[in-house]
Amino acid sequence: MIIIKSPLEMRRWADQKRATNNTIGLVPTMGALHRGHMSLVEAAVRENDMAVASIFVNPTQFAPHEDFDHYPRTFEKDCELLKEAGVACVYAPTAGEMYSQDFSTWVDVELVSEGLCGGSRPHFFRGVATVVMKLFHATKPQRAYFGQKDAQQCAVIRRMVRDMDMGIDIVEMPIVREADGLAMSSRNAYLTDDDRERALCLSRALFAVGERLRQGEREAAVMLESVREAMREVEIDYVVLADADTMQPVSRVEGRVVLAVAALLPTARLIDNIIYDPTENTVS
Amino acid sequence: MIIIKSPLEMRRWADQKRATNNTIGLVPTMGALHRGHMSLVEAAVRENDMAVASIFVNPTQFAPHEDFDHYPRTFEKDCELLKEAGVACVYAPTAGEMYSQDFSTWVDVELVSEGLCGGSRPHFFRGVATVVMKLFHATKPQRAYFGQKDAQQCAVIRRMVRDMDMGIDIVEMPIVREADGLAMSSRNAYLTDDDRERALCLSRALFAVGERLRQGEREAAVMLESVREAMREVEIDYVVLADADTMQPVSRVEGRVVLAVAALLPTARLIDNIIYDPTENTVS
Please give the helix or strand (H or E) that residue B206 lies within, else none.
helix B200-214
> Half-sphere exposure of residue B9, counting CA atoms within 13 Å on the CB side?
13
Residue A238 pLDDT > 90: yes
Residue A122: band (very low, low, confident or very high) from pLDDT cuts 50, 70, 90: confident
- Are A167 and B8 inside 8 Å of each other by CB? yes
Of B34, B37, B70, B137, which residue is the catalytic one?
Answer: B37
Closest residue of chain A to B137, computed from CA coordinates = A166
Query: Known catalytic residue: B37?
Result: yes
Distance (Å, rounded) from C-alpha A145 to C-alpha A173? 7
A137–B164 CB contact, under 8 Å: yes
Q: Tell me the C-alpha distance between A227 and A23, whole Å.
A: 43
pLDDT digits (tens, 9 = 90+) for B151-198: 999 999 999 999 999 999 999 999 999 999 999 999 999 999 999 999
A139 → chain B, closest CA residue:
B165
pLDDT confidence tier of residue B205, bands split at 50, 70 and 90: very high
A132: closest CA among A100, A158, A114, A103? A158
pLDDT above 90 coverage of chain A, percent? 100
pLDDT tens, B32-62?
A: 999 999 999 999 999 999 999 999 999 999 9
Q: Would you state the pLDDT for residue B221?
A: 98
- Best A58, A91, A123, A165 residue to mutate vs chain B (most B CBs within 10 Å): A165
The stretch A88-107 carries a mean pLDDT of: 98
Instruction: For the beta carbon of residue A239, count every other beta carbon within 10 angstroms.
Output: 23
Q: Do B105 and A138 touch (CB under 8 A)?
A: no
DSSP symbol at B212:
H
Span A51-62, average pLDDT: 98
Secondary structure class of B88 (helix, strand, coil): coil
Task: Select from B82, B271, B80 the least CA-distant residue to B188.
Answer: B271
Q: Are B235 and B265 in contact (CB under 8 A)?
A: yes
The average pLDDT across A95-115 equals 97
Per-residue pLDDT tens digits for A30-55: 999 999 999 999 999 999 999 999 99
Cα–Cα nearest to A135, from B166, B140, B129: B166
Question: Rounded to 10 degrees, what is the CA torsion of A76, A78, A80, A83?
Answer: -130
Q: List, in order, residues 6 or more apart from B260 with CB less than 8 Å away.
A: B116, B151, B152, B238, B239, B240, B241, B242, B271, B272, B273
Q: What is the mean pLDDT of chain A?
A: 97
* CA–CA dist B116, B124 (Å, integer): 11
Closest CB to B112: pick one of A104, A111, A159: A104
Residue A105 with chain B: CB contacts under 8 Å? 107-110, 129, 159-160, 163-164
Among candidates B10, B104, B137 on the partner chain, residue whose Cβ is nearest the Cβ of A111: B104
CA angle A61/A67/A73 to nearest 5° reads 90
Domains of chain A, start order:
2-173 (3.40.50.620), 186-279 (3.30.1300.10)
Mean pLDDT within A197-220 = 98
Query: For A20-35, what is the mean pLDDT?
Result: 97
Interface pTM, i.e. ipTM: 0.96
For residue A5, CA distances in Å to A2, A71, A139, A147 come to: 10, 20, 12, 24
- pLDDT above 90 covers a percentage of chain B that reads 100
What is the share, in percent, of chain B residues with pLDDT greater than 70?
A: 100
User: Using N-to-C axis directions, what is the helix angle for B124-139 and B151-163, rounded to 10°?
Assistant: 60
**Residues linked to residue B29 through DSSP beta bridges, in sequence order:** B55
Q: What is the pLDDT of residues A250-277, one digit of tens each?
A: 999 999 999 999 999 999 999 999 999 9
- Position B265 scores a pLDDT of 97
The dihedral built from the CA positions of residue B48, B50, B56 and B58, taken in this order, carries a sign that is negative
| pLDDT above 90 for B108 | yes
Shortest CA distance to B129 belongs to which of A133, A183, A41? A133
Task: Please give the residue of chain A at the shortest CA–CA distance from B21.
Answer: A19
CB A105 within 8 A of CB B109: yes
Give the SS3 label for residue B147. strand
Contacts of A139 (CB under 8 A, 6+ apart): A10, A14, A24, A26, A52, A54, A91
The pLDDT assigned to B74 comes to 97
Q: Rounded CA gap, A20 and A34, in Å?
A: 32
How far from B5 is each of B9, B13, B24, B54, CA to CA, in Å?
A: 7, 12, 18, 10
Phi, psi of B186 (to 5 degrees): -60, -30
Dist. CA B284–CA A115, nearest whole Å: 49
Residue contact A105–B159, C-beta within 8 A: yes
Of A50, A59, A48, A64, nearest to A1 by C-alpha is: A50
Contact B236, B269 (CB under 8 A): no
Catalytic residue, chosen from A34, A37, A65, A137, is A37
Give the tens place of pLDDT for each residue, A138-160.
999 999 999 999 999 999 999 99
Question: Is there a contact between B102 and A137 if contact means CB atoms under 8 Å apart?
Answer: no
pLDDT in tens, B251-283: 999 999 999 999 999 999 999 999 999 999 999
A156 → chain B, closest CA residue:
B105
Pairing of strands A269-277, A257-264: antiparallel
Residue B236 has pLDDT above 90, yes or no: yes
Nearest to A113 by CA among A70, A163, A55, A188: A163
Give mean pLDDT, residues B224-229.
Answer: 98
